[in-house]
Chain A
């Protein structure tokens, strides 16, 4: 898939306290959904231990950036708060196109990516990621 085609779809960012969890969730998305969706992940604190890392989240958002927007899947508290911080650091124009989804990190990432691969909007992708928590 060419870059130009990828950027038509909403990007997915996976932020976990564990790099293994983040990478594993990203592997599942790649295998189940394919390469049509811009995808990036990060996990671990600045020392490489369990935790989250604002600069790493900023880089992941940049890597998965799409003009359609970016949906971020997180695990526990610090991942959510630090992802919100990373969004706040984006330019004004980009800030409105990045959202943290209130959904389970693995299932939410797969569902969000599936929705994105069909060309859905950021809001539709977010709803897909959050679907399991609405049941």
Chain B
């Protein structure tokens, strides 16, 4: 994968999150503390500020650096959660200029384990895990052919599936039954990030995932 591709992929993800900041904040005002969009925007603006140096790195190194930047700048629980997600994937990809299906999956599996421990949470508690886990399961069984379409569809339906869920972790859990009927903001931001990555990679000039 060319450095230019890494750079454009990260730019696409960052721009998508930044553009959706007010939507994420609205979702978070309904069931959280109302800062998810603001925090994610601050984090991804810090990523964009160093995009040129990220673009000089192998994809794995760039994702690991991106993750660390999010941890240091987001200023909420989503900092460590998204930070560790990108760091885990980045570390699994390592120095290889190519992203292989096998290493990407290994990184995703590692990320889920780390996020469960860090957030003391699991699937079904109305969190970002409710999007990440089904998307990773889709990735596990899709190889060759159209990978990105099914991943995007899985992310979308998984985010929607958090609407009726009862939150039992995070700030939303304070609301109890009232947390039902709203999409989880972390599920939505996960969907946005996955969607942006798929959208960019689908249109990328050369096949990225090998």
Residues of A within 8 A of B76 (CB): 45, 51-52, 78, 82
Whether A32 is near chain B, meaning CB under 8 Å from some CB there, is: no
Whether B35 is near chain A, meaning CB under 8 Å from some CB there, is: yes
Q: Interface size (B, Cβ < 8 Å)?
A: 20
From known contacts A45-B76, A51-B35, A52-B75, infer whether A81 and B42 are also in contact, taking CB-CB under 8 Å: no
Residues of A within 8 A of B72 (CB): 54-55
From known contacts A45-B39, A47-B42, A50-B35, infer whether A81 and B81 are also in contact, taking CB-CB under 8 Å: yes
When chains A and B are docked, how far (Å) is the Cα of A45 from the Cα of B80?
14
From residue 36 to 67 of chain A, which have CB atoms closer than 8 A to chain B?
45-47, 49-55
When chains A and B are docked, how far (Å) is the Cα of A53 from the Cα of B33?
16
Whether B83 is near chain A, meaning CB under 8 Å from some CB there, is: yes
When chains A and B are docked, how far (Å) is the Cα of A55 from the Cα of B75?
10
Contact B83 A85 (CB under 8 A): yes
When chains A and B are docked, how far (Å) is the Cα of A49 from the Cα of B39?
10
- B-to-A contact residues, CB < 8 Å: 33, 35, 38-39, 42, 71-73, 75-81, 83, 118-119, 170-171
- A-to-B contact residues, CB < 8 Å: 45-47, 49-55, 76-78, 80-82, 84-85
If A54-B71, A54-B72 are given as contacts, then 5 extra A-B residue pairs at C-beta distance below 8 Å, sorted by A number, are A45-B42, A46-B75, A49-B38, A55-B72, A81-B77
**What are 21 residue pairs bridging A and B, where the CB atoms are less than 8 Å apart in the complex?**
A45-B75, A46-B42, A46-B73, A46-B75, A47-B75, A49-B35, A50-B35, A51-B39, A51-B75, A52-B76, A76-B33, A78-B75, A78-B77, A78-B78, A81-B79, A81-B80, A82-B79, A82-B80, A84-B80, A85-B80, A85-B83
